[in-house]
Amino acid sequence: MQLATDIERLDINGAAATLQGVAVPTPLMTNINWSNRLNCNVYFKREDLQVVRSYKIRGAFNKIRSLNSVQKEAGVVCASAGNHAQGVAYSCSLMNINGVIFMPTTTPNQKLEQVKMFGGKAIEILLQGDTFDDAADAALKYCRSRGRTFIHPFNDQKVIEGQGTVGKEIIAQAQEPLDYIFLPVGGGGLAAGVASYVKTYSPKTKIIGVEPEGASSLTEALKFGSPVKLNKVDKFIDGASVKEIGGLNFNYCQELLDDVITVPEGAVCTTILELYNKDAIVVEPAGALALTGACYYSIPKNAEVAIVLSGSNNDITRMEEIKERSLLHEELKHYFLVSFPQRAGALKDFVNDVLGPDDDITLFEYQKRHSREKGPVKIGIQLAHKSKLHSLIQRMNELGFIHEYINNQPEHLSYFV
C-alpha cells in the first residue's frame, strides 16, 4: 500500500506556508548534559517553546484554516486533554471562529486556564468524562446535533500535515545528517507527519516512536495488525493517554517508523525532574516521553540524535506526584505495613536500629487509630540508595518487626501514596 513515501500525498510544505506567522519555528538545540549521558550528540527540538507551549497549534491551525466559509461560520468542536485544546482555542481566536472544547474532568487546572487564556471569548469549555475518549464521544454527539466541524486531535490529514512541519524544521535545522529522531506517540499525528516528511528527505534517519507503558495503543495495534481499543489506560501522561491510535495515523506509523518502544511512567517522571534540575527545562509528562525513550534505547556512540520535547504545559501542583512516581520507579521509596512489638521503646528501636543513617521516614500512620497499641502502622521510607532495601528488611526481621511489603502490591499501594 503506497502511503507517506509520496510527499505530495501529505502537503507538509503547504502546511508550513499556512503556519507562517502563527507557529514559531522552534530551535533544534544541542544539549551537552544529555549528549554526555547518552554518549552521542543530542539535539532537543524545543516544541515546549511553541506559542501554546506544544506542537499542537501546527495541526489545529492547519485544519481550521482549510475549512470553507460555511464550516467556519458554523463553528468548530474539539476534544482534548489539553494541548490540542490550546491549539484549537488559539486558532479560533486568531480567525474569529466560535469553538466548543470538550475536555476530560481529569484535565490539570493549568491546562484549563491556558485554554481559556488562548481562546478568550471565541471558545467555550465543557468538561466531560474521565478520559480523552469520553470527551471525544461527547464532542462528536455535540457536533452531529449542531452541524459543526469536529477538529480531531490526530486522526485527520490536515492535522497530520501540520504536525509534520516539526519534521520539516528538524531536517532544515540539523547541521549534520541525523541518525535518529525520537518522537512521543499518543494518537500518532506527530509521528505520522514527521515520519512522512523525514523518510522522504532523509530516508536513512531512523525514527523511533515512544509510548507510555500504561497507554501503548500503537504497540498493541502493531501486534494485532490494525488499531485496537485498550481496555484501560494510565491517565498520568495525559498528553499521550489514548485508548486507540488513529486508523490513518497507524497506516503511516506501521509503514514508516523504524521502531516503537514503551517506557514506564515512573521513568518519565525521573526525566522530568532531571530536565528541571539540571537543564532548567520545564516539560509536561508527554514532553519528556521521547527523551525517556532515548535513555532506554541502544544508541550507537557518537550518533546524531534529535529528540522532540513536545510540550511544557505542566501544572506545578503535579510535582509532588511526579516526584513520588520517580522515587518509586528508582526504588528509593518503599512502603510497609508494620506491626510493632508490644514493648516499651519499640518505636525508638525502629528509628535507631532499623533505619539506616541516611534513611528517612516519609509516612507514619496508625492503621487503627482507636487501637494504637496493637494495630499495624503504615510506614513510608525513603532510602539513600536502592541497594539499602535488603539490609533494611533484614534488620526489621532480626528485631521482631513483623511487616508486609506494599510496593509490589499495586492494588494496595494506592492507599499509601
Phi then psi dihedrals of residue 3, to 5 deg: -130, -115
The catalytically annotated residue of 54, 216, 241, 310 is 310
In angstroms, rounded to a whole number, what is the distance separating the alpha carbons of residues 151 and 61?
10
Q: What is the 3-state secondary structure (H, E, C) of the chain?
A: CCCCCCHHHCCHHHHHHHCCCCCCCCCEEECHHHHHHHCCEEEEEEHHHCCCCECHHHHHHHHHHCCCHHHHHHCEEEECCCHHHHHHHHHHHHHCCCEEEEECCCCCHHHHHHHHHHHHHHEEEEECCCCHHHHHHHHHHHHHHHCCEECCCCCCHHHHHHHHHHHHHHHHHCCCCCCEEEEECCCCHHHHHHHHHHHHHCCCCEEEEEEEHHHCHHHHHHHHCCCCCCCCCCCCCHHHCCCCCCHHHHHHHHHHCCEEEEECHHHHHHHHHHHHHHHCCCCCCHHHHHHHHHHHCCCCCCCEEEEEECECCCCHHHHHHHHHHHHHHCCCEEEEEEECCCCCCHHHHHHHHHCCCCCEEEEEEECCCCCCCCCCEEEEEECCCHHHHHHHHHHHHHCCCEEEECCCCHHHHCCCC
Identify whether 371 is a catalytic site residue: no
Query: What is the CB neighbour count within 10 angstroms for residue 133?
Result: 18
CB 128, CB 24: distance < 8 Å? no
Residue with cell string 468538561: 127
217 catalytic? Reply is: no
Cell numbers for 311: 510540550
Cell 520517580 sits on residue: 326
Pick the catalytic residue from 45, 56, 63, 168: 56
Active-site amino acid positions: 56, 310
